Chains A and B, each alone.
Chain A
Amino acid sequence: MRIRRPTVGWLALAPLALAAACASTGTLSRFDAFAQAGSAYAKAVDALLQQAAQIQVDASSEKLLSTRDDFGPVSRADFEKQDQADRAFIHEITLLRRQAKLLADYFSALDALATSDQPQAFGASLAATAGSLDALSQQLRGRPLAKSVQAAQVLAADVGSLVVRRAESRALQHELEQRKATIARVLQLHVALLGAVRDQVEANLEFARNRDYEQQVEDPYLTTGAPLDENGWKQSRFKGLEPPDPVQQLDAAQSAARELQTAWAKLLTHELGPGDLQAVTGELTPILAALDNL
């Protein structure tokens, strides 16, 4: 049995291996960074949708209670109709969260492929193979496979991982090309969705905020002669005038969806820079921190 000595072949491949490995690694790290930003975005959208359902039901509860205080309880039929409407809203949010989860799953799969340790595992296997081949070669022919077994193993690992990394990079590129329009459309729909949810949340919060503003700001101020805690009053007035946190979070998420759309287009044309993804994560970090604290 004759064993070929591929030492020259390995060495000839070395410069190419290093150059191409750098290019492939760069491409993969862009995919990886994009996938992580996308996953963070999907997580934020899921939490914001959940929060929107809570705000919707809280707002209608406030209105039912307010009606009860002002005019007595509404009829059972009216109460049940509102229950049914709230239940349908919660169901709708559940369905939307399912769609957000699908997008999260897509970004997770992208991340898994981009950050796979298979290139290293494959390289390590080839390195071990090179070592085993050398041992076998010595046994069969009494000569070593390469002058330096260690060098041959390192090269085997480099070239092996390069081959897999390139395959990985090609698979990612091919998939992204196929999904170019779909992801762009989904992100465009998310911009519309977050805009609609933002308006609904703002309106739902307005009822309680108007009542609080009236009681804590307008009434104490307009009632002449009554003592006024000026610092507390100023704080309440500021709180009542600035946009509520959930609305600001939804605005930020909508901006993140737009930034992600831009990043997606740049990823496909190889123009994606760190700044593009920082714009996305910059919008999302405060949202995720605030929602984690809830």
Chain B
Amino acid sequence: MTSPSEPTPQPTETSFAELMAQLRLLENQLYSSVVVEQAKQLPEDEKQSFASGRIHLTTLITELNTAELASIREQLEAEGPALVEGIDNLNSSLAHLENATSWAQALNGVIGLLGKVVPLL
């Protein structure tokens, strides 16, 4: 038993991975032909209970898979605003370069116009 001053042990990534590995192993065993053949010998209500319990385990594993991905996705989302800012910065730098080129083109146009006007002076 832990004393009040000791921190409560937190579930670690490894323990989650181990739990998932055990649940997946159990699920595989429940779908194996050996276990299925034995379950088929059970009385009807127990057989239905076995089938229902097995699909519940499949559903639980699916939900845990989703939760595992959601946890990583939430961390990725936390980085999202910085990525968006980066995209905006890069696009803005590109726009500035395009602007510089358009200024150069405009200058060229003005000089060209002056060239046409000067002979008339």
Report the minimal beta-carbon distance from B10 to chain A, rounded to whole angstroms. 17
Partner pick for B90 among A89, A112, A200, CB 8 A cutoff = A112
Among residues of A, the one whose C-beta sits closest to the C-beta of B54 is A67
Contact between B84 and A82, CB atoms less than 8 A apart: no
Among residues of A, the one whose C-beta sits closest to the C-beta of B76 is A99
Docked complex: A155-198 residues within 8 A CB-CB of B = 160, 164, 167-168, 171-172, 175, 178-179, 182, 185-186, 189, 192-193, 196-197
Contact between A70 and B51, CB atoms less than 8 A apart: yes
Please name the 6 residue pairs, one residue from A and one from B, whose CB atoms are nearest each other, closest first.
A125-B104, A171-B93, A109-B90, A71-B51, A85-B62, A118-B97
Could you tell me the distance between the alpha carbons of A168 and B98 in the complex, rounded to whole angstroms? 11
Could you tell me the distance between the alpha carbons of A149 and B89 in the complex, rounded to whole angstroms? 39
Question: Do A122 and B66 form a contact, CB below 8 Å, given A67-B51, A82-B58?
Answer: no
Docked complex: B45-62 residues within 8 A CB-CB of A = 47-48, 50-52, 54-56, 58-59, 61-62
Partner pick for B87 among A105, A126, A210, CB 8 A cutoff = A105
Q: Report the interface size for chain B: residues with CB under 8 A from the other chain.
A: 62
B-binding residues in A (CB < 8 A): 56, 60, 63-64, 66-67, 70-72, 74-75, 78, 81-82, 85-86, 88-89, 92-93, 95-96, 99, 102-103, 105-106, 109-110, 112-113, 116, 118-119, 121-122, 125-126, 128-129, 132-133, 135-136, 139-140, 160, 164, 167-168, 171-172, 175, 178-179, 182, 185-186, 189, 192-193, 196-197, 199-200, 203, 206-207, 210-211, 214
Could you tell me the distance between the alpha carbons of A178 and B32 in the complex, rounded to whole angstroms? 54
Could you tell me the distance between the alpha carbons of A172 and B89 in the complex, rounded to whole angstroms? 9
Contact between B93 and A60, CB atoms less than 8 A apart: no
**Selected A-B contacts with CB under 8 Å, 27 pairs:** A63-B58, A71-B39, A74-B52, A82-B55, A88-B62, A106-B86, A109-B87, A112-B90, A113-B90, A116-B94, A125-B101, A125-B108, A129-B111, A132-B108, A164-B100, A175-B93, A178-B86, A182-B79, A182-B83, A185-B79, A189-B76, A197-B69, A199-B17, A200-B65, A200-B68, A203-B61, A211-B31
